[in-house]
């Protein structure tokens, strides 16, 4: 298994040698490699078993360094960069040729963000190159929010994981860009769209899944546990699966069903706090997936604020190919 620690110099040495490191961000843990080294980027795809048509996000330490590998930050997007970097916002920007095609799936834009986690920002500041860092999990599975999650899934394939504790946000970044001159959100995530609109006015939301996505994390089936994941009215689902004699666990928003099913119930937020629910989502899915049950039953959250992003993940997890 991988070594887990806080040794930035060691992580830097591994990355400079063209190998991969698990890194913490405020959203989820990333599987990081030199974004300007096509061989290192290929290792990311190989390690995650990620399809090469799904683009990666580049991470760097400050806005000035973004211009090392993008042509410009369009005027319409600059207010967002200034307001929310560092933070859980990714921008799609016109790329320079220095960025390998494998990073962008051949597109003329590259996804970029500046994470706010202090440990990873310190690492990024020490490097001469940006890091490509998709979530540090096998492709399509639940994103990791603790160093131990990374080790459980990829520890045999990488040497080192920077331990930054539990992720503060717990959902992937919101992805925005320009579509015909209009600020557009391509992926709902840890930054509420309402906060974006306070800065740039009304935006369009285009989060349709695709087999050849323009932005990362838009494939129809994604963020999924290994067990069947069923969305619906939990009271009805619990009754249905109890009558069928099928062993199940429950993922609920704020209601507890322990009086009906015992300890196989994870409540995302007893206080019905959408931020707390978002932070707990992936860890909860992972816990339930490890239980000795045949299916996981879940419900959607109120479709507002961060609830929209959580619901996006829940719907993708429930898709059965």
Q: How far is CA 23 from CA 56, 196, 237, in A?
A: 15, 26, 38
Average pLDDT, the chain: 92
Three-class DSSP category at 82: helix
Q: What number is the average pLDDT over the span 109-120? A: 97
Cα–Cα distance measured from residue 167 to residue 293, given in angstroms and rounded to the nearest whole number? 27
User: Per-residue pLDDT tens for 71-112?
Assistant: 999 999 999 999 999 999 999 999 999 999 889 888 899 999
Residue ranges of the chain assigned to CATH 3.40.50.11030? 229-318
Cα–Cα distance measured from residue 24 to residue 80, given in angstroms and rounded to the nearest whole number? 23
User: Per-residue pLDDT tens for 236-283?
Assistant: 999 999 999 999 999 999 999 988 888 899 999 999 999 899 899 989
Q: What is the pLDDT of residue 258?
A: 87
Domain 3-170 CATH (choose: 1.10.287.130, 1.10.10.10, 3.90.870.10, 3.40.50.300): 3.90.870.10
Q: How far is CA 241 from CA 224, 238, 266, in A?
A: 20, 5, 17
Three-class DSSP category at 132: strand
Question: What totals of helices (H) and strands (E) does the chain contain, helices first?
Answer: 12, 15
Element (H, E) at 196: helix 193-200
Tokens linked to 193: 């769209």
What is the pTM (predicted TM-score) of this model? Answer: 0.86
Q: Is 37 exposed, middle or buried (0-12, 13-18, 19+ CB in 10 A)?
A: middle
Confidence of residue 212 (pLDDT cuts 50, 70, 90): very low
Confidence of residue 220 (pLDDT cuts 50, 70, 90): low
Q: What is the pLDDT of residue 52?
A: 65
Continuous H helices in 49-175: 63-66, 78-84, 101-104, 118-126, 147-154
Q: Please state the φ and ψ torsions of residue 141, each to the nearest 5 degrees.
A: -90, 175
Tokens linked to 264: 């196989």
Residue ranges of the chain assigned to CATH 3.90.870.10? 3-170
Protein fold of 229-318: Rossmann fold (3.40.50)
Element (H, E) at 177: strand 174-179
Cα–Cα distance measured from residue 78 to residue 282, given in angstroms and rounded to the nearest whole number? 31
Cβ–Cβ under 8 Å, residues 145 and 30: no
Q: Which of 150, 168, 182 is nearest to 21 (CA)?
A: 150
Q: Which of 293, 126, 148 is nearest to 225 (CA)?
A: 293
Percent of the chain residues past pLDDT 70, beyond the cut: 93
Q: What is the pLDDT of residue 107?
A: 87
Cα–Cα distance measured from residue 66 to residue 153, given in angstroms and rounded to the nearest whole number? 31
Q: Indicate if the pLDDT at residue 197 is higher than 70.
A: yes
């Amino acid at each position: 298994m991988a070594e887990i620690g806080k040794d930035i110099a060691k992580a830097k040495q591994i990355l400079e040698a063209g190998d991969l490191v698990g890194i913490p961000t405020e959203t989820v843990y990333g599987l990081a490699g030199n974004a300007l080294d096509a061989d290192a980027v290929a290792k990311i795809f190989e390690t995650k078993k990620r399809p090469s048509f799904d683009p990666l996000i580049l991470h760097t330490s400050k806005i000035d360094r973004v211009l090392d590998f993008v042509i410009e930050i369009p005027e319409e997007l600059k207010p967002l960069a200034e307001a929310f970097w560092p933070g859980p916002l990714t921008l799609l920007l016109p790329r320079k040729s220095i960025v390998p095609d494998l990073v962008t799936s051949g597109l003329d834009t590259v996804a970029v963000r500046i994470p706010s986690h202090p440990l990873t920002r310190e690492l990024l500041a020490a490097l001469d190159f940006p890091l490509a860092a998709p979530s540090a999990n096998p492709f399509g599975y639940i994103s990791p929010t603790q160093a131990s999650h990374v080790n459980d899934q990829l520890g045999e394939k990488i040497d080192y994981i920077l331990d930054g504790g539990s992720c503060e946000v717990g959902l992937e970044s919101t992805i925005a860009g320009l579509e015909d001159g209009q600020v557009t959100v391509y992926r709902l995530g840890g930054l509420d769209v309402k906060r974006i609109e306070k800065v740039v006015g009304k935006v369009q939301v285009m989060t349709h899944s695709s087999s050849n996505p323009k932005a990362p994390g838009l494939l129809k089936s994604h963020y999924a546990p290994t067990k069947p994941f069923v969305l619906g009215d939990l009271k009805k689902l619990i009754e249905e699966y109890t009558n069928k004699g099928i062993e199940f666990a429950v993922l609920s928003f704020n209601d507890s069903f322990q009086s009906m099913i015992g300890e196989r119930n994870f409540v995302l937020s007893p206080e019905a706090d959408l931020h707390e629910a978002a932070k707990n989502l992936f860890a909860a899915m992972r816990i339930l997936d490890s239980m000795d049950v045949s299916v996981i039953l879940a419900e959607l959250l109120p479709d507002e604020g961060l609830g929209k992003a959580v619901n996006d993940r829940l719907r993708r997890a429930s898709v059965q190919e």
